[in-house]
């Protein structure tokens, strides 16, 4: 009897398969056909560095020019609009990759246009008026407590899906080219996305798929800084490129974890 109990305990402990950091509950995940990404965060760590406007000379002047541009963009609302466009592009990339892997994943417009979802979103505490647009649910970070079974069930019911997801994309410098000494010269910084993915279903108390720090390939092009002046090129296509690569790796790791023998 004791051995039988130990056997049952061992069986319960191997419901999670691991591969390269991916934690998966295969039996639960196999039942998931539809998944909605309701929590989404983008953290942009792509910085031009350099003198950053400190000190004199060419580098200081270049940094000042960049700082003036940044302040002007913030004052005009351009920076906020640009950030939202970047977040929406990355969100769409993640959803498209999930769909390509066999999941049915509603688009952000479908989620934001769902009256039941809107009702839940507008009742969330601590949302300032500027963030109250349901269409911007993916812009302002993780609003929903997906670890709370009650909150999770409300979202699952409102959206009519099998699972909900929390995804974070961090864009960082993957590699640097060129050279700059004392503000003289040119540097090019190539973006690289790092992705965290967590998915919850209705029945499991914890996540059924969790994977962290999945690095995409470094983007094929970079952002130039010349004499301390930042590149004005829109980095969004580069962010999308490397995020797509990170999601491909995440989904590949998921597939390997699904197929891995229990440990």
Rounded to an integer, what distance in angstroms lies between the CA atom of residue 21 and that of residue 252?
Answer: 12
- Supply the pLDDT for residue 15: 39
- Rounded CA separation 108/114 (Å): 10
Determine the Cα–Cα distance for residues 126 and 38; give it in Å rounded to an integer.
17
Report the range out of 14-23, 73-82, 218-227 with the highest average pLDDT.
218-227
What letter does residue 210 receive in the DSSP assignment? E
* Banded pLDDT at 67 (limits 50, 70, 90): very low
Model confidence at 46: pLDDT above 70: yes
Phi and psi for 56 in degrees, rounded to 5? Answer: -105, -160
**Torsions phi, psi for 202 (to 5 deg):** -85, -30
Q: Which residue has the tokens 């996305």?
A: 193
pLDDT digits (tens, 9 = 90+) for 168-211: 999 999 988 765 555 556 788 899 999 999 999 999 999 999 99
Summarised one tens digit per residue, pLDDT across range 90-119 is: 999 999 999 999 999 999 999 999 999 988
Please report how many Cα atoms fall inside a 13 Å half-sphere around the Cα of residue 127, on the Cβ side: 19
pLDDT digits (tens, 9 = 90+) for 178-187: 655 555 567 8
Instruction: Provide the percentage of residues in the chain whose pLDDT is more than 90.
Output: 46
Q: Is the CB of residue 199 less than 8 Å from the CB of residue 19?
A: no
Q: What is the mean pLDDT of residues 234-247?
A: 95
């Amino acid at each position: 009897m004791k051995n039988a109990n130990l056997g049952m305990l061992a069986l319960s402990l191997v419901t999670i398969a691991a591969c390269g950091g991916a934690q998966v509950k295969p039996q639960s995940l196999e039942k998931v056909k539809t998944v909605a990404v309701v929590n989404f965060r983008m953290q942009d760590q792509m910085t031009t560095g350099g003198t950053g406007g400190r000190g004199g000379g060419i580098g200081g002047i270049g940094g000042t020019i960049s700082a003036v541009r940044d302040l002007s963009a913030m004052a005009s609302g351009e920076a906020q609009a640009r950030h939202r466009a970047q977040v929406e592009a990355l969100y769409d990339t993640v959803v498209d990759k999930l769909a390509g892997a066999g999941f049915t994943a509603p688009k952000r417009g479908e989620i934001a246009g769902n009256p039941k979802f809107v009702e839940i979103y507008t009742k969330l505490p601590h949302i300032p008026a500027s963030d109250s647009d349901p269409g911007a649910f993916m812009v302002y970070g993780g609003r929903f407590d997906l670890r709370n079974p009650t909150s999770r069930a409300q979202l699952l019911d409102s959206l009519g899906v099998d699972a909900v997801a929390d995804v974070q994309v961090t864009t960082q410098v993957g590699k640097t080219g060129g050279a700059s000494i004392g503000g003289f010269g040119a540097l090019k910084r190539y973006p690289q996305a790092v992705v965290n993915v967590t998915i919850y279903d209705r029945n499991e108390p914890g996540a059924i798929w969790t994977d962290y720090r999945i690095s995409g390939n470094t983007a094929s092009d970079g952002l130039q800084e010349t004499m301390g002046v930042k590149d004005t090129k829109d980095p969004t296509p580069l962010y999308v490129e490397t995020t797509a690569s990170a999601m491909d790796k995440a989904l590949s790791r998921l597939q390997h974890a699904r197929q891995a023998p229990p440990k």
